[in-house]
Amino acid sequence: MTDKLKNRFQHYQLPQADLPEGHEARFLNKIESKTNQTQPKMYTGVAAAVAFIAVVISLAGFFQTSVYSSSATVQTAQLGQVSPQLEEMELHFQRQLNDKRIEAVQIAQQNPDLAGFLDELNQLEEAYKALEKALAENANNDRVIKAMIDNYRMRLEILEQMFIYSQMKKNPVEYNS
């Protein structure tokens, strides 16, 4: 049966048709207009970061079970205290963030309109501190651990978006074509 189908398709030829004049130009114009419409928007990432911050802060508040007095010391915990795998992951994220943070500060000094990215980053770092407190109280809580990992990822994503936006400002022709 498969031999019959093979033979039938080997001998069958598709009809050849010439494209109408100007087809290629219309096609390229259509692609270019679609490309311009799909430009990344700076504020979508910032809005996602703000939403994430709200979720993280609400999770941290939810998992806080004791009230600290002003004289009490606040205990925090790191992911590395939970497991060796999480410690390795945390070190990886911290290295990436430290390297990219230095570059981001330099970019923000050259482009003051990009300082909003650093503000978002600072808010996520504050939310991370609250998560460290929640982890100290609930060391085996998967939600807190996941929120901490997501926080690292969001900070890296904000830095990447900042770099992309900076490049778009430097070379707008490259991103519009």
The better pLDDT of the pair 143, 21 is held by 143
Q: How does residue 14 score in pLDDT terms, banded at 50, 70 and 90? A: low
On whether residue 27 sits in a domain, the answer given is no
Average pLDDT over residues 27-43: 60
Residue-wise pLDDT tens digits, 121-167: 999 999 999 999 988 888 788 898 899 999 999 999 999 998 888 88
How many structural domains comprise the chain?
1
On whether residue 125 sits in a domain, the answer given is yes
On whether residue 119 sits in a domain, the answer given is yes
On whether residue 176 sits in a domain, the answer given is no
H helices of 12-141, where? 23-37, 42-63, 84-110, 115-137
Average pLDDT over residues 102-112: 86
On whether residue 5 sits in a domain, the answer given is no
Please give the pLDDT value at position 137.
87
8 Å CB contact between 82 and 141: no
Which amino acid is residue 82, in one-letter code? V
On whether residue 99 sits in a domain, the answer given is yes
On whether residue 11 sits in a domain, the answer given is no
8 Å CB contact between 163 and 103: yes
- What is the number of other CB atoms lying within 10 angstroms of the CB of residue 85? 10
Please give the pLDDT value at position 69.
39
Q: What does pLDDT average to over the chain?
A: 76
Residue 79 token pair: 């992911």
φ, ψ for residue 149 (rounded to 5)? -65, -45
On whether residue 2 sits in a domain, the answer given is no
The better pLDDT of the pair 168, 42 is held by 168
Among 72, 63, 80, which residue's Cα sits nearest to residue 127?
63
φ, ψ for residue 83 (rounded to 5)? -160, 155
Gap between the Cα atoms of 104 and 100, Å rounded: 6
Which residues lie closer than 8 Å to 83 by C-beta, 6 or more apart? none
pTM: 0.57
Please give the pLDDT value at position 175.
56
Q: Which domain holds residue 50?
A: 45-65+74-168
